[in-house]
Amino acid sequence: MSPAAAELPPPARALAIGAHPDDVEFGCGATLAKWAAAGAAATLLVLTDGSKGTWDSDADLAALVATRHREQDEAAAVLGLAGVEFLDLPDGELADGLTERALVCEAVRRLRPDVVLGHDPWKRYRLHPDHRHAGWLTLDGVVAARDPHFFPDQGLPAHRPRRVLLFEAEEVDHLEPVDGFLDTKIRALLCHRSQWPATMRIDASAPDHDAQLEGFVGRVRSEAEAAGRAAGTGPAEGFKLLDKV
Ligand SMILES: [Zn+2]
């Protein structure tokens, strides 16, 4: 059965949780841009510092972290987000223990999102451990936030989001149409210039870098168009929708 394409009502507040700078843009950038344009206050929570996001073994990692913060802020501005928060946990070493869960819980309680978006921890054969752990932290943080007996010393009222959307989903059952917002997603992704070589396969110093850039843009576009085509709609982002949080 093809997943349904349906527009969720734009939330008043949304919280998107990503392991690294650029994950959220890949997973749900167009949906966030659409909601922001409709007046939603969407905040991005980046769990790690992005300090392993280079293939250059001689890289200055402190400078890389600063660059990735700046790139993430620029991308968030392109999407129209209300803000970005960085937990700056060490890249590649993200754990989903109680300490990290409390940090996510605190953000959910403080920001009081109607919708939380995050990595799908059930995605099979996913290689990067941070993406798996970020998925668990999103779900476990939401459960903790809604129950006042978790982390009572936070001094914040419990908060229950209306729904959770998991991107990179193992089983897509919701397609959010993003017609008109795909270019915004692509512009936001391209703000992450430090990730051009490794993640986007764009070598800015190569003679054919324009073609490489076009290739990346084409891949993002095709993925969204293919997702929507299955449901007979225009470009879409696919999610697993958890509607009874
Ligand atoms: Zn990532």
Q: How far is the CA of 157 from the centre of ligand 1 (A)?
A: 31
Q: What is the predicted pLDDT for the residue at 32?
A: 98
Phi first, then psi, for residue 64 (nearest 5°) are -60, -45
Q: How far is the CA of 191 from the centre of ligand 1 (A)?
A: 15
Q: How far is the CA of 209 from the centre of ligand 1 (A)?
A: 23
Q: Do the beta carbons of residue 50 and residue 18 sit within 8 Å?
A: no
Q: How far is the CA of 149 from the centre of ligand 1 (A)?
A: 31
What is the C-alpha to C-alpha distance for residues 113 and 164, in angstroms, rounded to an integer? 10
Q: How far is the CA of 133 from the centre of ligand 1 (A)?
A: 11
The percent of residues in the chain predicted with pLDDT above 90, rounded, is: 91
Q: What is the predicted pLDDT for the residue at 56?
A: 86
Q: How far is the CA of 1 from the centre of ligand 1 (A)?
A: 30
Query: Given a cut of 70, is residue 2 above it in pLDDT?
Result: no
Q: How far is the CA of 45 from the centre of ligand 1 (A)?
A: 13
Give just the sign of the alpha carbon dihedral 72, 78, 79, 80: positive
Q: How far is the CA of 48 from the centre of ligand 1 (A)?
A: 9
Q: How far is the CA of 21 from the centre of ligand 1 (A)?
A: 7
What is the C-alpha to C-alpha distance for residues 43 and 138, in angstroms, rounded to an integer? 14
At residue 130 the predicted structure's pLDDT band, cuts being 50, 70 and 90, is very high
Q: How far is the CA of 43 from the centre of ligand 1 (A)?
A: 17
Q: How far is the CA of 241 from the centre of ligand 1 (A)?
A: 21
Q: How far is the CA of 169 from the centre of ligand 1 (A)?
A: 14
Q: How far is the CA of 11 from the centre of ligand 1 (A)?
A: 25
Q: How far is the CA of 155 from the centre of ligand 1 (A)?
A: 31
Query: Given a cut of 60, is residue 1 above it in pLDDT?
Result: no
Q: How far is the CA of 232 from the centre of ligand 1 (A)?
A: 30
Residue range 175-223, pLDDT digits in tens: 999 999 999 999 999 999 999 998 999 998 999 999 999 999 999 999 9
Query: Given a cut of 90, is residue 230 above it in pLDDT?
Result: no
Q: What is the predicted pLDDT for the residue at 55?
A: 85
Average pLDDT over residues 133-144: 98
pTM over 0.85: yes
At residue 61 the predicted structure's pLDDT band, cuts being 50, 70 and 90, is very high
Residue range 72-116, pLDDT digits in tens: 999 999 999 999 999 999 999 999 999 999 999 999 999 999 999
Residue range 153-178, pLDDT digits in tens: 999 999 999 999 999 999 999 999 99
